[in-house]
Amino acid sequence: MNGKSLITLAFASVLILVLATGAAAQKATILQMCLPGAPTIHYGDEAELAGFTDPDDRRTYPWGREDAELIGFFKDAIALHKEFTALKTGSFAMLSANQYGLFAFGRWDRASRVVAAINNYKEEREIEIALGALGMAEGESLELVLSADRDSHGRPGTAYIVSKGAVTVSVPAFGGVVLASRKGSGEPEAAVTTRPFLVSASPAAGSAKASPDAAIVLRFSEPMEQRGIAADFSIDPAVKGRFVWNGNSVSFLPAAPLAPGPYRVSLSGSLRALRGNFSLSTPASWSFTVK
């Protein structure tokens, strides 16, 4: 799916689930306009046009019977996405979440900061949102630029002052809120994740006097998925041992001293980074000799 469309045939079951919790269009649209990606308004979304799987995937537009309140909400939500550059290209972080359906996330860049919160409870709930990831200082403020529930929406403009690194906001039942600051974070955007790579290895390639008691230590450019190392790593001749991780580095500890002679270590390239799920940029292989 290109962009973020609320309704596609592939997501019909998801739509049914969202509809069951009320204020489906409002909550889904806040997510659509505030999460990373390019939002796409499908024909009739703004009028809550009913539809299901083919051939009932999209009915005719309800001319003269549109929900004016819902259309107004869509217009305001779209306006926010246009106004705040953080919602187009800014960084992203989850700020608060619980398993019962109340959560908040943040977007930020050098020009603006935005916080969105969604409530799937049937009653209004308060949520405390920690703002450290957005670089907000004590006494700074966020403006409530959008609030919506199943029946109505508004742009109240209420100011929330940061106290002890957080703000506490009431989120309508089955609804959502968006808060924003037109002051940027002053911090650089999150670095774009690229494929991880092997930075160094010990014993080094070509080493002719490696110790029989040496551990094989690999350092990567970023944190890796630790469980994948056993499948990605190989040594010839075969050696029994175990892996120990420390940050971006992993050590292979042989179960017994290495016998004298040449060894070849290989990484197949299937090992993946924790962030972005990218595999190693290239396989690696090198040899050393134990004296």
Q: Give the model confidence (pLDDT) of 99-120 as tens digits.
A: 578 999 999 888 899 999 999 8
Residue 77 CB-density burial (10 A; 0-12 exposed, 13-18 middle, 19+ buried): buried
Distance from C-alpha of 35 to C-alpha of 80, rounded to nearest angstrom: 12
What is the mean predicted confidence (pLDDT) over 261-266?
96
The overall pTM is greater than 0.75 = no
User: Which has more confidence, 275 or 193?
Assistant: 275
Tell me where in the chain the CATH 2.60.40.3710 domain(s) lie: 198-290
pLDDT for the residue numbered 165: 85
- CATH architecture, domain defined by 198-290: Sandwich (2.60)
pLDDT for the residue numbered 198: 93
Task: Give the ranges where 84-167 is alpha helix by DSSP (H).
Answer: 86-89
21-55 pLDDT, tens digit each: 445 778 888 998 999 888 888 777 787 776 667 76
152-162 pLDDT, tens digit each: 888 888 899 99
- CATH architecture, domain defined by 4-181: Sandwich (2.60)
Residues 6+ apart with CB under 8 A from 147: 153, 154, 155, 156, 172, 175, 176, 177, 178
User: Which has more confidence, 73 or 44?
Assistant: 73
Q: Does residue 13 surpass a pLDDT of 50?
A: no
Residue 46 CB-density burial (10 A; 0-12 exposed, 13-18 middle, 19+ buried): buried
DSSP state at residue 279: B
Tell me where in the chain the CATH 2.60.40.1180 domain(s) lie: 4-181
What is the mean predicted confidence (pLDDT) over 71-80?
91
pLDDT band at 276 (very low <50, low <70, confident <90, very high): low
pLDDT for the residue numbered 19: 45
pLDDT for the residue numbered 43: 78
What is the mean predicted confidence (pLDDT) over 52-66?
77
* 276, 193 Cβ separation under 8 angstroms: yes
